[in-house]
């Protein structure tokens, strides 16, 4: 249960490298807000300069398999934070632990803590409410056998919104934010599963956005998407980060380079390092394995 590997990196700047400056900001105390309510706008503004998700000594096991060992890091409000690393490095498990998907998996055990807006996610009584705030987009679009409209309206309906004009508004806004509106506005009643792979991926993003999340996590969204759509979604993410925090797991290191302020490199369940993306790609690494991975020598 508690594999005691030491955390190699956390929020504290560890080296005199210039790229550690952002970490100083991140090491400040998190803004605390009530767990079940949206922060008021003033609090939201304050939160921008501070930590959105703080991960402390997080370890994940599946039975006797260690998926992640003692990871500590901070993710700032309104940043795109990338996680890169080869297969089986623990990236997806990390995302699942953040919005408490471990509750759905009988063999997954999590130790350590995840603070969201300064509050331990385990203290949220309503895990569905937590997952509304921390939305996730999976690698392969998991299309529901519903119309485009109903795919996006599903979650708002489940939380009790019935007024048609309000649902119309949420559906349109979510599809616009996912850069899909223009392509589907004339056939909202068509089945979502009839869309192309790239459109379905944007539909899943629209579905996540219908919840108005504070954090959006994406797990290798490009896997089933052509390069042109990938670039469109990247533009969407750059736009969305004005309003939310984005955690992006990607197997494309150049995608991290294009999008992320900071990048974490995971390898075999270890967070090898976290750094400013630009610095890492300039070769300012603390661990040679990071450079080897960035330069394509393995993985
Ligand atoms: N449901 C599960 N049951 C048992 N072991 C699992 C389960 N999910 C993941 N694992 C194991 O945990 C480790 C980390 O897996 P994880 O899926 O988090 O890695 P990843 O970095 O996302 O890999 P990939 O790049 O292939 O998606 C692996 O050894 C994997 O076999
Ligand atoms: Mg994965």
pLDDT digits (tens, 9 = 90+) for 170-195: 999 999 999 999 999 999 999 999 99
What is the best residue among 64, 68, 88, 224 to mutate for testing ligand 1's pocket, by most ligand atoms within 8 Å of CB? 88
Q: How far apart are CA 284 and CA 299, in angstroms?
A: 20
Q: What is the dihedral of CA 172, 175, 179, 181, to 10 degrees?
A: -50
pLDDT tens digit sequence for 155-168: 999 989 999 999 99
Reported confidence tier of residue 19, pLDDT bands at 50, 70, 90 = very low
Q: Is the CB of 139 under 6 A from ligand 1?
A: no
pLDDT tens digit sequence for 70-103: 999 999 999 999 999 999 999 999 999 999 999 9
Q: How far apart are CA 76 and CA 246, in angstroms?
A: 9
What is the distance in A from the centroid of ligand 2 to the CA of 19?
A: 28
What is the distance in A from the centroid of ligand 1 to the CA of 9?
A: 21
Q: Is the CB of 200 under 6 A from ligand 1?
A: no
pLDDT greater than 50 at residue 202: yes
Q: How far apart are CA 55 and CA 81, in angstroms?
A: 13
What is the distance in A from the centroid of ligand 1 to the CA of 59?
A: 13
Residue 37 DSSP class: S
What is the best residue among 67, 68, 98, 266 to mutate for testing ligand 1's pocket, by most ligand atoms within 8 Å of CB? 67
The predicted model gives 202-215 an average pLDDT of 95
pLDDT for residue 18: 32
Q: How far apart are CA 72 and CA 53, in angstroms?
A: 11
Q: Is the CB of 67 under 6 A from ligand 1?
A: yes
pTM of structure? 0.84
Reported confidence tier of residue 143, pLDDT bands at 50, 70, 90 = low
- DSSP states along 128-197: HHHHHHEEEE-SS----SSBHHHHHHHHHHHTT---HHHHHHHHHHHHHHTT-HHHHTT-TTSBGGGS-H
pLDDT for residue 225: 82
């Amino acid at each position: 249960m508690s594999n005691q590997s030491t955390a190699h990196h956390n929020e504290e700047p560890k080296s005199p490298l210039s790229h550690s400056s952002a970490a100083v900001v991140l090491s400040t105390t998190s803004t605390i807000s009530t767990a079940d309510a949206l922060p008021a706008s003033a609090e939201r503004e304050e939160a921008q300069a501070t930590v959105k998700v703080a991960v402390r000594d997080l370890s994940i096991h599946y039975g006797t398999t260690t998926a992640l060992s003692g990871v500590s890091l901070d993710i700032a409000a309104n940043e795109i934070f990338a996680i890169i690393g080869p297969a089986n490095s623990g990236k997806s498990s990390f995302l699942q632990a953040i919005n408490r998907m471990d509750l759905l998996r009988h063999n997954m055990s999590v130790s350590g803590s995840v603070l969201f807006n300064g509050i331990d996610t385990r203290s949220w009584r309503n895990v569905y409410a937590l997952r509304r705030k921390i939305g996730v987009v999976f690698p392969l679009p998991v299309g529901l056998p519903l119309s485009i409209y109903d795919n996006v309206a599903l979650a708002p309906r489940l939380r009790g919104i019935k007024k048609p004009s309000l649902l119309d508004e949420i559906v349109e806004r979510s599809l616009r934010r996912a850069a899909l509106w223009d392509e589907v506005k004339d056939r909202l009643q068509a089945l979502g599963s009839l869309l192309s792979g790239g459109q379905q991926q944007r539909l899943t993003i629209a579905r996540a956005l219908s919840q108005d999340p504070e954090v959006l996590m994406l797990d290798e969204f490009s896997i089933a998407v052509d390069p042109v759509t990938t670039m469109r979604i990247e533009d969407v993410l750059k736009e969305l980060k004005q309003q939310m925090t984005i955690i992006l797991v990607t197997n494309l290191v150049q995608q991290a380079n294009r999008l992320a302020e900071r990048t974490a490199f995971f390898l075999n369940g270890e967070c090898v390092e976290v750094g400013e993306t630009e610095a890492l790609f300039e070769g300012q690494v603390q661990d040679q394995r990071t450079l080897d991975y960035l330069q394509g020598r393995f993985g």
